Structure 1
Amino acid sequence: MKKILLFAVLILSIQSYAQETKNKNLGKNEFKVNLAFLIAGYPEITYERLLSNETSFGITMGFSIDNSTNSENNTNYNFSLLPYYRIYFGNKPNAGFFIDGNLALYSQKQRHGDFFSEDKKGGTGFGFGFGIGKKYKTKKGWVGEFSFGLTRTLINKDKINLLYPRFGITVGKIF
């Protein structure tokens, strides 16, 4: 009986250790969707590769579902591609407060001005920018983050807005 009890305790402790190890080593890849932009008719998906416990590299791609240029459309952009490098300052690996630097390639639709802005013909923008935010992780590998950033275009300033704003309420999974 003692041998069976000892064997059961050994198996349970090995299983418990294996589960703890598995939770700590969730993976180095994340796939995320920006819910804020999805609701606005501009789905934005992100792939992020965790480089260390404090850094990562990612790429975000967004595209418009509605290509019309009328003023009822929720977004002024056709397409965006943004690679970024991120640094985390949290207690957990790759979680907590972060800052990032990015490049952006994006296409803006024609816009008719209002009280605050002038008419823009539309076109392609390329520039660099920054972002800040906070990321949360679960033990099972789910992630959620809130972020905000700005990118300044270096080309076609007369055809598109000078600044490309970014914000997100993003959810995803580590694999």
Structure 2
Amino acid sequence: MKKIILTVLALSIFITSKAQDGETPEIADNATSEVKLNALFMVVGAFDVTYEYLLNQESGLGIEVFVPFDEEIRDDINYYVSPYYRLYFGKKYAAGFFLEGFGMLNSIKETTFDFSQTVFDGPVIEREENITDFALGIGLGGKWLTNSGFVGELSFGIGRNLFNSSDVSEDFVGKLGITLGYRF
């Protein structure tokens, strides 16, 4: 957690010092990278960071990594890694309303109980199993961009796991984000 806070603080200091050159900073026409942090998940106990490479004014490729650090969230999900492609419909370069197609390698912790034993024969047996699956999904959202390069996003997506379809595993996965970042 300390590393996360130090990284965000260092990024903020760098951005602030760059913005104090005496001129109004403008995003370079060749700014093609974004680094973003999901503020919503930081509040609830997970680290969710995204890197996006902008292909042109209408599209971008990215990868999102989600790792929980709170025990309550870690009880349900171990991690996910989600590459995506976005198509933008705004007037600014790679900003505005977007549609997203994504894949998601996800791992969950599933707890099952064996009730075949009665109270008189022995205790109920609890089993924990890590299940890894891959999902395909779609999403939508909006991206806002300031002249100095700060990025804000609201996004939502839903996908379906392709493997491990059983009573134990989850069939659907979701993505939700209130994301803040910087374009460089």
In the superposition, the TM-score normalised over structure 1's length comes to 0.76
> Which of 128, 134, 141 is 2:136 aligned to?
128
Query: Do the aligned residues in 2 keep the contact of 1:137 with 1:144 (CA within 8 Å)?
Result: yes
Which residue of the partner structure matches residue 6 of structure 1? none
- Larger Rg, first or second structure (1 or 2): 1
1:98 lines up with 2:107 in the alignment: no
Q: Say what the alpha-carbon RMSD is for the aligned residues.
A: 2.3
For residues 134 and 87 of structure 2, the distance between their equivalents in structure 1, rounded to whole angstroms, comes to: 23
Structure 2 residue runs of 5 or longer lacking an equivalent are 1-22, 114-127
Structure 1 residue runs of 5 or longer lacking an equivalent are 1-18, 114-119
Which residue of the partner structure matches residue 152 of structure 1? 160
For residues 83 and 52 of structure 2, the distance between their equivalents in structure 1, rounded to whole angstroms, comes to: 10
Give the deviation of 1:74 after TM superposition: 3.7
Give the deviation of 1:23 after TM superposition: 3.2
Which residue of the partner structure matches residue 139 of structure 1? 147
Detail structure 1 runs of 4+ shifted over 6 Å in the superposition.
none
In the superposition, the TM-score normalised over structure 2's length comes to 0.73
Query: Do the aligned residues in 2 keep the contact of 1:95 with 1:136 (CA within 8 Å)?
Result: yes
Give the deviation of 1:160 after TM superposition: 1.8
For residues 111 and 27 of structure 1, the distance between their equivalents in structure 2, rounded to whole angstroms, comes to: 46
Question: Which protein has the bigger strand share?
Answer: 2
Aligned length: 147
Query: Do the aligned residues in 1 keep the contact of 2:26 with 2:149 (CA within 8 Å)?
Result: no
Query: Do the aligned residues in 1 keep the contact of 2:57 with 2:94 (CA within 8 Å)?
Result: yes
> Which secondary structure state, in structure 1, belongs to the residue aligned with residue 56 of structure 2?
coil
Q: Percent identity?
A: 36
> Which secondary structure state, in structure 1, belongs to the residue aligned with residue 133 of structure 2?
strand
- For 2:169, give the aligned amino acid: I
1:36 lines up with 2:40 in the alignment: yes
Query: Do the aligned residues in 2 keep the contact of 1:85 with 1:102 (CA within 8 Å)?
Result: yes
Instruction: Give CA deviations for 1:146-165 in whole Å, capped at 9, x if unaligned.
Output: 00001110011223211111
Query: Do the aligned residues in 1 keep the contact of 2:58 with 2:94 (CA within 8 Å)?
Result: yes
For residues 20 and 35 of structure 1, the distance between their equivalents in structure 2, rounded to whole angstroms, comes to: 27
